[in-house]
């Protein structure tokens, strides 16, 4: 999100067009996003939103073209051990999660929350790297938020994306997947953009339930930059297509526009961000979560983020894509040494997809430092 303000400005001149969790077995050829029964959402502008110019025309003739095999979807089964459907009756939702558990006792689980419009599969390549770098001592649990990916409502509407609701959802999923706090591995909370706002506010709630939180890791979001960018968001969204002729076309658009510069990651993550359209004659596929419709919640996601981050009673890490200005609270906090900050050059807003190896290295180094994983040295209190 730290690049959001720059992206918003450049978009104006852009020329490109409790039940326990149950396994959802990986089937051969199973690719996230192939389901054709998910409801289509409109990309029309929000009435009276006052944010930016009107949306692109609702109907345009789209000349179909054959799918490009170079951008064929890749199943997430090669990156996670399991796809889990986690039923949470209290939230009236059936959450899709992706999980690779730690292979060793005393390990840690990186619990990941994606940004707006994306899904848990955006952490797929990074999850694979985390497992390799730690020899399986760390696992990864990635969650699809409500109205995202393959998470579905079991009753009523699921269109409330306010920060309080997202935090309630996140904590409920963690409590359902790990019902026995005493036997739960330590948890490292990782959130990208909107997900960063969710995990820092979830941290104290989970600690109250006695979960051991190793740290909170926020990926590419700064409150000041995010709030400054909000008035320009509709201009940015106007540069996005309303839909696509195929899943391959959607993947190609993300790669060709440098929204995601890593084609492999895009082939895994993008299929779950689109769904079959009700108006297939115009666009066979459209956005699973139209970002314009989430506008009422944008301010709630980011307002107060810096204070919540600095107040977290655990180790804190901020990873940014390129240089970006910190707001006053973070600048003071950095000078006081209250959190670790790493700037990663050569990546965009989707930094964990653009360079999953480097982001995994940063997270693993942070985990080692705060878990004090040193051979032959016991932790305080160990016999």
b/e for 21-30, b at 16 or more Cβ within 10 A?
beeeeeeeee
b/e for 330-344, b at 16 or more Cβ within 10 A?
beebeeeeebbebeb
Classify burial at 381, counting beta carbons within 10 Å of its beta carbon; exposed 0-12, middle 13-18, buried 19 or more.
Answer: exposed
Mark residue 220 as left, alpha or beta (left: phi above 0; alpha: psi -120 to 50; beta: remaining). Answer: left
The enclosing H or E element of 6 equals helix 4-11
User: CB under 8 Å to 95, separation ≥6 — which residues?
Assistant: 85, 86, 87, 88, 143, 144, 151, 169, 173
Sign of CA dihedral 99, 305, 180, 146: negative
Q: How far apart are CA 80 and CA 100, in angstroms?
A: 5
Task: Assess contact for 73 and 33: CB atoms under 8 A.
Answer: yes
Q: How far apart are CA 41 and CA 277, in angstroms?
A: 8
How many CB atoms are closer than 10 A to CB 69? 7
> Which residue, 64, 73, 65, 92, is CA-closest to 264?
73
How many Cα atoms occupy the beta-carbon half-sphere of 337 within 13 Å?
0
What the block records as the tokens of 140 is 């990864």
Query: Which residues form the catalytic set?
Result: 193, 220, 349
Mark residue 117 as left, alpha or beta (left: phi above 0; alpha: psi -120 to 50; beta: remaining). Answer: left
Residue matched to tokens 């509709």:
234
DSSP 8-class letter at 259: S
Task: Assess contact for 305 and 330: CB atoms under 8 A.
Answer: no
């Amino acid at each position: 999100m730290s690049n959001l303000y720059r992206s918003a400005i450049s978009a104006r001149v852009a020329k490109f067009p409790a039940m326990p969790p149950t396994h959802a077995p990986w089937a051969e050829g199973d690719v996230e996003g192939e389901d054709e029964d998910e409801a289509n959402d409109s990309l029309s502008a929000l009435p009276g939103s006052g944010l930016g110019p009107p949306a692109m025309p609702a109907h345009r003739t789209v000349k179909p073209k054959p799918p490009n095999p170079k951008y064929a979807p890749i199943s997430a089964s090669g990156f996670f051990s399991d796809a889990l459907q986690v039923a949470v009756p209290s939230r009236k939702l059936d959450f899709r999660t992706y999980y690779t558990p730690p292979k060793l006792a005393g390990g840690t689980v990186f619990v990941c929350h994606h940004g707006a419009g994306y899904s848990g599969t955006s952490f797929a390549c990074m999850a694979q790297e985390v497992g390799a770098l730690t020899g399986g001592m760390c696992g990864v649990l990635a969650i699809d938020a409500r109205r995202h990916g393959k998470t579905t409502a079991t009753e009523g509407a699921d269109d409330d994306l306010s920060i309080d609701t997202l935090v309630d959802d996140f904590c409920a999923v963690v409590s359902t997947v790990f019902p026995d706090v005493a036997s739960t591995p330590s948890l490292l909370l990782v959130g990208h953009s909107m997900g960063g706002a969710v995990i820092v506010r979830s941290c104290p709630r989970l600690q109250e339930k006695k979960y051991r939180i190793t740290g909170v890791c926020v990926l590419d979001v700064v409150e000041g930059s995010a709030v400054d960018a909000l008035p320009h968001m509709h201009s940015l969204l106007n540069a996005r297509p309303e839909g696509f002729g195929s899943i391959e076309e959607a993947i190609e658009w993300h790669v060709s526009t440098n929204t995601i510069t890593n084609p492999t990651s895009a082939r895994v993550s993008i299929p779950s961000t689109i769904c079959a359209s009700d108006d297939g004659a115009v666009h066979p596929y459209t956005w699973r979560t139209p970002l314009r419709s989430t506008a009422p919640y944008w301010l709630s996601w980011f307002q107060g983020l810096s204070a919540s981050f600095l107040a977290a009673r655990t180790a804190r890490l901020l990873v940014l894509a390129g240089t970006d200005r910190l707001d006053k609270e973070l600048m003071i906090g950095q000078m006081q040494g209250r959190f670790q900050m790493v700037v990663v050059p050569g990546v965009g807003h989707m930094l964990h997809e653009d360079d999953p190896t480097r982001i995994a290295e940063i997270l693993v180094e942070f985990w080692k430092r705060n878990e004090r994983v040193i051979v032959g040295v016991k932790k305080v209190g160990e016999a």
